[in-house]
Amino acid sequence: MWGKNWKSSGKLPCLDSDCLPHHHHHQIANATCNEEKLAEETSNGLDACAKESKLNFEETAKDVESLADQKALEENNCSFLHAVINMIGMLIGLGQLSAPYALENGGWTSAFLLVGLGISCAYGSHLLGKCLEKYPKSRDYKDIGQNAFGAKGRIIVASFIYAEIFMALVSYTISLHDNLATVFLGTHLKLSWTNLTTSQTLTVLAILVALPSLWLRDLSSISFLSTAGILMSLLIFVTVACTAIFGAVKANHSIPALKLHNIPAISGLYIFSYAGHVVFPNLHAAMKDPSKFTKVTIVSFSLVTVLYTSLAFMGAKMFGPEVNSQITLSMPRALILTKIALWATVLTPMTKYALEFAPFAIQLEQNILPHSMKSRTKMIIRGSVGSILLLVILVLALSVPYFEYVLSLTGSLVSVGICMIFPCAFYIKIFWNQISRPTLILNMILIAFGTLLGASGTISSSRLLLQNLRRAHSA
């Protein structure tokens, strides 16, 4: 998901084939030249000069395409280990904060759902790799959608991608607000000309601090933020684990076996935990040996599933029914480990905004703004649009401060499509003449299961969100 980390090093990955080497454009140029050649051979009215000019153009186009292919190969320098680290970095994020809450509310048997969804999403990643091998010129998730279902497929995929980014950023901002309130507990900061509370004022100030990063002209200059995001996520896991291991909190609470009525709502939390598929095509394209992409997927998802499961059981055992939707908010405030975890959770969203807005910026600059426009004017427009969107996200986050319900809604409404449903549907469409009957049945079952889980989770999380909003307004 874009709600996850990007590559931990190197260039910022492009999100649209338009911002990558223009192989498609060269192919079109060559196809056009071949058609012209055929027309020349069947026509007696063209002179030799035109033919010579056309042949020179063909050779030039082929040379450019060859150079572009060579450049692309030179950039594919991501080793197996580096690819694993990158994929893990893309996956871990907000999901780990809510894992203990989800397990406590779903029961310990819901861990089987967590593992099962991990396997299903890993299979979805494997299918994306197969689709990319079928069409080597594909460079991003939207290209796969177009290869499978044409322009409509591309539009649908793009809509889901941008919806996931937007909703994930709202969740990040809610997390920022909640953890800032705990970090500065007891602090009174109120501006006389606003009706904002202290925590809301602190959140506004934090957003204003992050705002200049949206104005950076060179998007690759912010790629270091991805590394910072990965380190913050790992730091949160380590602090929670140390709190449990060294006995700061006794892990003696019993976890209920199953709370069936809560499964639809927590399924969205589990699904979002594995949402990183939007960036996987970029990772596939960056690998030295793309044939190892499936192995990268297996290793990465296995490690992340172990991390999520262990963190979920630790948090649920330590805090029981009192566990917060964000594990950092349940930890004893006097501990130094808690302070580290809280600050890591506060800084994580600060590293996300510029990275998450990059797809919008690339789309805006490459496909919407005129190419003749000056780079400075593009930067101003890009920065202004990003700033306005971030302020809209801020308003939504402060108006709907229910982290678990917004995150669950994101997973059920959007992420389940990107992680499970779309990969299976794309694979069936692209490999229809080659797919075996058992594989077809498996993919159809996963599509049906994902659709059922997404629909029930969307209804459940939406209902809970509306109930809490009504309760807050009536209070």
| Helix axes of 80-91 and 293-319: crossing angle, nearest 10 degrees | 40
Residues paired with 78 in a beta bridge: 287
On whether the CB atoms of residues 428 and 469 are closer than 8 A, the answer is no
pLDDT given at position 9:
38
Task: Give the residue carrying structure tokens 């959140």.
Answer: 203
Question: Cα dihedral angle (179, 183, 188, 193), rounded to 10 degrees?
Answer: -40
Residue in the block written with tokens 């991805």: 226
Q: How far is CA 418 from CA 121, 132, 163, 204, in A?
A: 9, 15, 11, 31
- pTM of the entire predicted model: 0.80
Tracing tokens 């927590």 back to the chain, one arrives at: 266
Percent of residues in the chain assigned helix, strand, coil, to nearest 5: 80, 0, 20
Distance CA 239, CA 458 (A): 32
Give yes or no for a contact between 323 and 97, defined as CB atoms under 8 angstroms apart: no
Q: List per-block mean pLDDT (blocks of 10 residues) for the chain, which spans 475 residues.
A: 41 40 41 46 45 43 38 60 86 88 96 97 97 90 94 94 91 92 82 79 90 68 67 86 81 91 95 92 89 95 94 92 92 89 88 75 72 79 86 92 94 96 97 94 97 97 93 81
- What integer pLDDT is reported at residue 325 of this predicted model? 93
Count CB neighbours of 391 within 10 A. Answer: 14
Give the C-alpha separation, 458 to 180, whole Å.
28
CB 332 within 8 A of CB 238: no
Comparing CA positions, the residue from 102, 116, 405, 407 lying closest to residue 255 is 102
Q: Which string of DSSP letters, residue by residue, matches 50-87? A: HHHHHHHHHHHHHHHHHHHHHHHHHH--B-HHHHHHHH
Count of residues making up the chain: 475
pLDDT of residue 188: 79
List of E strands, 55-196: none
